[in-house]
Structures are given as structure tokens and as C-alpha cells.
Chains A and B, each alone.
Chain A
């Protein structure tokens, strides 16, 4: 793996992020509604002079291109602006919330890939077997059911009928003074339901995809070679076949990461998870432009990073891609 390749990918990523900043800004400004009204509304009734002074204060009366220039300049200096609603820097609002979101999204991604791929491989062993049928049915259901519905059903099942998981939040209040280990366990306990809810839809997709990918690979000549060497079936499946079947799975995993973040928004809302998704949801309702743009900025950054990691893992998985750019 050459580092110049990684550097080049990171460079592309930065250019892409700049484009994202500009696009975010323009998209938000295209939306109808006047933020000055919203800000004023929070403070009570507003006269035209008040609105005008708010526009003056927040720079909303300047030409759009000038506003864009100011915003991009600020972002480049690490300043994402101040929230209209919280009167706090957007960066610090996000900093408080990005951790839980990353934890949720990455746990869901890992769960869905591990379980999904495992189910897919098992199904591919006997393409007409019971497991294969189960995976197909499960995948269809998982894909068709909306994520908030799954969340609510899981809450009913595991919080009311079998109360084994907490319904909401990320930490128990009563553990405030507990040691790190207890706290970690507590967070993990809170994490299971939301992460699984978010994982289900993608888990089903990975199961189907890896089943199809494995079936194709298992028909290859080199699989016959592995068997002819005397390799055990599980070695053939998980070593020789899976590594080759991983390429389409990695591709989809990279592409899905963006969807996973938008899915996290709904899951965070259902489970009252203190993450960026809730902030985005509330900020959209409040027309809190700087916060929305800040959230979009970080969400895009996560997608860009995920894609860079996908490209790098591609070259790890397939030596034929190394040495080409």
C-alpha cells in the first residue's frame, strides 16, 4: 500500500469537502422561509425594524455571493458559525453530539456487515437449503420495513414485554459517579437496541449480497484448486472464497455509509439518542441555518472518510488493484 496513493485520496477528499460546503450553503438558501423571522419569533413579536436589525446582525442582508464567501472563509478557519437557536458555536454543539452518532453508526455498520456476511456465507453453502430461504425472506422483510417502525417494535418487545434493554438515551442517570468500566457497559447496554434497529435494514442487504457474491466465487476454478489441495470446507468458504467475494460487499458498505448516517437521524429520534441526528432534526424545524450546515458538513465529512477507507480496503482485499491508481 503506497502512501502517495492515500495522500492523493485525502487531497481529493478535501477538494470534495469544499464543494460540499458551497453546495450545502446554496441548497439551504434555496429553501423557502426567512431565518430572521424564526430568530425574531423565538424572542417574541417582531417589528420590521427588529427584523432588519437581526438581518444586519447576522449578515443576512448582504448579497448571497458575499454571504457564501464569508461562510467559506469562516469554515476554512474552522469556524462553522453560531447557532441561531442556541447562541453557541455550531462546532461545539456538534462536538458534544458527534461522538454518540459515530458510536451508533459504526456499531450498526459492524453489526450489519458481520452478521449479514455470515448469514450470506452460510446461505451460499447450500443455495437451495433452509438457511438460504430464511436469508431471502429476512432480507426482503428487513429491506421493506421502515427503520422507525422496527425501532418502535423493538422497544415494545424488549422494553415492555421483555424488559431487558433500556428504551431511550445513552446513559443511566443513576450511574453518574460510577467507574469507567461500569459506564462503558451501561453505554453498550443502551446501544444494543438502536444499533440493531439501524443495522437490520443493511444487515439484510449484506446477507443477500454476500450470498450472491459467494455463489459466484464458489464456482471458480481456484475454489476447486483449494478443495483439491485438501482444504477443509470452512477454510474454502471463509478464507479462499470470502476474501474474493468481499469486493462487492466493500463497495456497497462504502456507499451505504451515507444512508446509514441518514438512518441514524431517525433512530436517534426514536431512541432519544443524544447524537447529531437529533440536532439536525431539530435544527431543520427551527431553520437554524448555521447548525444545519454544520451538521451536513460533518455528515459529508464522515461519508468522504468512509469512501477513502473503502478505496484503501479495496486495495487491501484485491492485490490486482494495487499499483494502479
Chain B
């Protein structure tokens, strides 16, 4: 079976004042219909760039898709005409953003903003679209939706606004829904509600979800499969259970060690030393080598490839050589 969304060897570069940097260096991902793929990694590892590239929203210039392919239901998106991309955006592939507080236009009512998304892709009257918008607000669990539809974003709480964003994103029943850290800006209790909602929406609408997050808790709750990203590359990919229970790559292990566990006696939370290196300073070797306690000379000189080991694919010389 071919995947619904199939990203192969995607390369994205940006022109910066440090010269050209490679933000995505051969990223391959796939999502099947009805499946949830979690993409995890620290800030700056390329998660959001992958999402924006898929949406055709990379600002060009300074960005450029330097190679690879993005296929949605068999149709190639890299190099598709702007008009074709516009027709697909919001209809076949939709996105929910990290910041519900700023992602809605402050000068239009939320009902109008959802109705606009509907009218962009379906030949319906403004009246019909607004009624559909109200129904969608109801569907995403907003009380008295007919009144709320006439509210402006500033009159709603963060959780409500994220529900509005979700309603807007699913308004045209997209095949793929990309959720870029949809709960980062929200309270913990609201986070759980949003995840429940996304799960329900997926059941109802049958969309594939790409959940971008750095929250391993969200992964365990939502994801079927997980891809771990680091410095513009996928460094480990497997089912959510495999990654959570048997992380291979030292970076994935680090991420999971960072999760505080109930009942475990701990004096200080573990952390991964250092930060993601700036993209323009990446050398020839493994990007994680500087932060890795298992790194040796080979790690510093040769980029590891994503290959299958005992459990599942991971890009690590130490794992490959059985050193960890």
C-alpha cells in the first residue's frame, strides 16, 4: 500500500547571513490514512520546516526546496503550481499552528474565518458556509456555537481559539492534518482536551495526523508511529511503543530520560547537555556527536545513516557497532 503522504529525501536550504544552510537534510517520512505520526525533537531541529514545506508555505526566498519529493495521495507537491498548491492547502492538507493566541486574524469574527476557509474550496453561499462554521464550532466542543461564531478571537480563551483553529483546519475534511505543537501554549488540562478532540476528529473524519511536538507525553497519548528529528535529519523511526520503550539513538534515549516518572525517586530531572548546534556550524560527522557521551572519532567524521538495527531504524554508529 502506498502511503497517503510520502516525503522522500527532502532537502530544504535557506540563505542566511552565514551563507546557505541546510535546514532539512534528506528527510523521509510517510503517513498512512487514519494514522498518527509523531515527529519529535528539540526546537530548531526542522520539525516545523518539514510541516511548512509540506504545506508549500516555506518563504522562498530565502528558503528553497533543494531536492526530494513530497507526494500527497500520489500527487507530487514539490514544483506544483502555486494555484494547484492553493487549491490543496486547506482542502486536502491542513495545518494547526502552535500559537492559538496569534494565529487567528484579530479583525474578523471566528465564524467568518472558518466560513472563509469553506468558501475558498467549496462552491457554497456565504450563508451556508457560516452555518457550516457554526456546526463545526459545535463539533469541536464550543458551547453556544452560534453566539461564539460572532465573537472576535480576543473574546475567546486560548483553548477555545485552538478549537476554532481545529474547526477551521478540518472544515474541508482534509486528508492530512498537520498539528504543529498544538498544545504548547495551553494549560495542561486544556492540552488533554485538545488531544482528545484531535483523536475524535481523526475517528470521525478519517484524516491522517502529523503531530509535531517535543512533548513525549503527547506522543504516548496520540501517536501510532514516531520519527525523531535532530538537526534537519530523521535519526530514529519506529512505532510509538518501540521508541518509548526501547529508544536506540542516544538522543532519543535522552529525550525519554527527560520524562519525569511517578514513583521514581529522583533528585534532579535528567537533561541532555548542550543545545542543538546552529545549522551553519554543522560538520561532516554526526550532528549530535558534541553532546553525546558515546561519541568517538568515527562519529565526528562520518554521518551515520538511518539503518535497521536490533529493533528499528536509528542513525547512530554507536548503536550500529553495538557500543550501546
Q: Known contacts being A224-B97, A230-B120, A230-B121, is A244 close to B106, with CB within 8 Å?
A: yes
Chain A nearest CB: distance from B168 CB in Å?
7
Chain B nearest CB: distance from A221 CB in Å?
4
Contact status B152-A228, CB under 8 Å: no
For the complex, what is the distance from the CA of A318 to the CA of B102, rounded to whole Å?
A: 15
Question: Within the complex, which residue of A222, A232, A318, A319 is in contact with B103, where a contact is CB–CB below 8 Å?
Answer: A222
Q: Does B94 contact A (CB under 8 A)?
A: yes
Contact status B99-A221, CB under 8 Å: yes
Contact status A318-B91, CB under 8 Å: no
Chain B nearest CB: distance from A217 CB in Å?
10
Chain A nearest CB: distance from B182 CB in Å?
13
Chain B nearest CB: distance from A321 CB in Å?
10
Contact status B107-A243, CB under 8 Å: yes
Chain A residues within CB distance 8 Å of chain B: 220-222, 224-232, 240, 243-244, 317-320
Contact status A228-B154, CB under 8 Å: no
Contact status B104-A225, CB under 8 Å: yes
Listed by A's residue number, 14 A-B pairs whose Cβ atoms lie within 8 Å are A222-B106, A224-B57, A225-B103, A230-B89, A230-B91, A230-B120, A244-B106, A244-B107, A318-B107, A319-B106, A319-B154, A320-B106, A320-B152, A320-B154
For the complex, what is the distance from the CA of A319 to the CA of B156, rounded to whole Å?
A: 13
Q: Does B95 contact A (CB under 8 A)?
A: yes
Chain B residues closer than 8 Å to A231, beta-carbon distance: 86, 116, 120
Chain A nearest CB: distance from B118 CB in Å?
9
Chain B residues within CB distance 8 Å of chain A: 55, 57, 86-91, 94-95, 97, 99, 102-108, 116-117, 120-121, 152, 154, 165, 168
Contact status B97-A225, CB under 8 Å: yes
Contact status B107-A228, CB under 8 Å: no
Q: Known contacts being A228-B90, A230-B88, A230-B91, is A244 close to B105, with CB within 8 Å?
A: yes
Contact status B89-A221, CB under 8 Å: no
Minimal Cβ-Cβ distance residue in A for B55: A228
Contact status A318-B106, CB under 8 Å: yes
Chain B residues closer than 8 Å to A222, beta-carbon distance: 102-106
Chain B residues closer than 8 Å to A319, beta-carbon distance: 106-107, 152, 154
Chain A residues closer than 8 Å to B88, beta-carbon distance: 230
Contact status B105-A226, CB under 8 Å: yes
Minimal Cβ-Cβ distance residue in A for B86: A230
Contact status A317-B107, CB under 8 Å: yes
Q: Known contacts being A244-B106, A319-B152, is A229 close to B168, with CB within 8 Å?
A: yes
Chain A residues closer than 8 Å to B106, beta-carbon distance: 222, 244, 318-320
Minimal Cβ-Cβ distance residue in B for A227: B57
Q: Known contacts being A318-B106, A318-B107, A320-B106, is A230 close to B97, with CB within 8 Å?
A: no
For the complex, what is the distance from the CA of A244 to the CA of B108, rounded to whole Å?
A: 10
Top 8 nearest A-B pairs (CB, nearest first) are A230-B90, A230-B89, A221-B102, A229-B90, A222-B105, A319-B152, A221-B103, A229-B117
For the complex, what is the distance from the CA of A74 to the CA of B103, rounded to whole Å?
A: 57
Assuming A224-B103, A230-B90, A231-B86, what are 20 further A-B pairs, CB within 8 angstroms?
Answer: A220-B102, A222-B105, A224-B57, A224-B97, A225-B103, A225-B105, A225-B165, A229-B89, A229-B90, A229-B117, A229-B120, A229-B168, A230-B87, A230-B89, A230-B120, A231-B120, A243-B108, A317-B107, A319-B107, A320-B154
Chain A nearest CB: distance from B151 CB in Å?
9
Minimal Cβ-Cβ distance residue in B for A219: B59
For the complex, what is the distance from the CA of A301 to the CA of B318, rounded to whole Å?
A: 81
Chain B residues closer than 8 Å to A317, beta-carbon distance: 107
Minimal Cβ-Cβ distance residue in A for B118: A229
Chain A residues closer than 8 Å to B57, beta-carbon distance: 224, 227-228
Question: Within the complex, which residue of A221, A243, A320 is in contact with B97, where a contact is CB–CB below 8 Å?
Answer: A221
Contact status A240-B90, CB under 8 Å: no
Chain B nearest CB: distance from A312 CB in Å?
16
Chain A residues closer than 8 Å to B103, beta-carbon distance: 221-222, 224-225
Minimal Cβ-Cβ distance residue in B for A318: B107
For the complex, what is the distance from the CA of A261 to the CA of B3, rounded to whole Å?
A: 67
Minimal Cβ-Cβ distance residue in A for B92: A230
Chain A nearest CB: distance from B98 CB in Å?
8
Chain B residues closer than 8 Å to A221, beta-carbon distance: 97, 99, 102-103
Chain A residues closer than 8 Å to B120, beta-carbon distance: 229-231
Chain A residues closer than 8 Å to B55, beta-carbon distance: 228
Chain A residues closer than 8 Å to B91, beta-carbon distance: 230
